[in-house]
Amino acid sequence: MENIDKELIRYIEDNIIPQYSAFDKGHNIDHVQKVIKDSLYYCNKINDKTINNEYQSDLPVRTDLVYVIAAYHDLGLSSGREEHHIKSGEILEKDVTLRRWFSAEEIQTMKEAVEDHRASNKYAPRSIYGKIVAEADRDISLETILYRTVAYSINKYPDYNFDQIFERTYSHILNKYGENGYLKLWLNTPKNIAGLNDIREMLKTPQKMRMHTELIYLTKFNRTK
């Protein structure tokens, strides 16, 4: 993050990232830090056209904008999950401290990118910045997806037993990541493509997926069946 103002980094680390400690285990501080890391990685790939042409963009991508977008992308969870992407954009827009580093136009670009990151959105992100944070937020690995889905279920439905949690987990993952799922990959990074293929293979064998889910349920959350 050598190209980002140190005062901006300090403000984000001291005031924004700690807010994620109030969210569920799938959207906690570890999550936002990973989204920031992956967003900056994709940003560098896009700017360095000699490394990987599939990430090309007509204009250089601003590292500082990418950093802020990733940091704010899920803050709206404080008001609920359904419209969290919209609320997150509002939080970013209303944060007057950001005006120390960014113009009104830049803040609008970041707000739109935050709004566009949600996987269930039916439209493509309006800029390369939205595509970057959307791709970084996907984190498509079977273990991670299972963990986050179980974590959400436990938090949202504390009275559910394992059978109910697995039923919801399988249904959610099929609806989102299955062959006809609503998730879209806007940059088509090799890592996420491979992860998506792994999940779709697992969906073909529900019993095997149940075993994986049960292991996570018992060991990661100290639950009993």
Residue 25 pLDDT: 78
pTM of the model: 0.84
Q: Are residues 55 and 15 in the same domain?
A: yes
- Whether residue 190 is contained in a domain is answered as yes
Q: Are residues 94 and 187 in the same domain?
A: no
Residues 135-176: tens digit of each pLDDT: 999 879 999 899 989 988 998 999 999 999 999 999 999 999
What is the band of 122 on the pLDDT scale with cuts at 50, 70, 90? Answer: confident
Residue 51 pLDDT: 63
User: Over the chain, what is the mean pLDDT?
Assistant: 92
Give the CATH number for residue 95: 1.10.3210.10
Q: Are residues 153 and 87 in the same domain?
A: no
The alpha-helical segments, DSSP class H, found in the chain are 6-11, 29-47, 63-72, 84-94, 104-115, 128-138, 142-156, 162-177, 190-203, 206-219
Domain boundary among 92, 117, 138: 138
- Whether residue 18 is contained in a domain is answered as yes
Identify whether the C-beta of residue 138 lies closer than 8 Å to the C-beta of residue 119: yes
What's the domain range around 163?
Answer: 142-219
Out of 54-68, 88-102, 116-130, the most confident range is 88-102
- Whether residue 87 is contained in a domain is answered as yes
- Whether residue 69 is contained in a domain is answered as yes
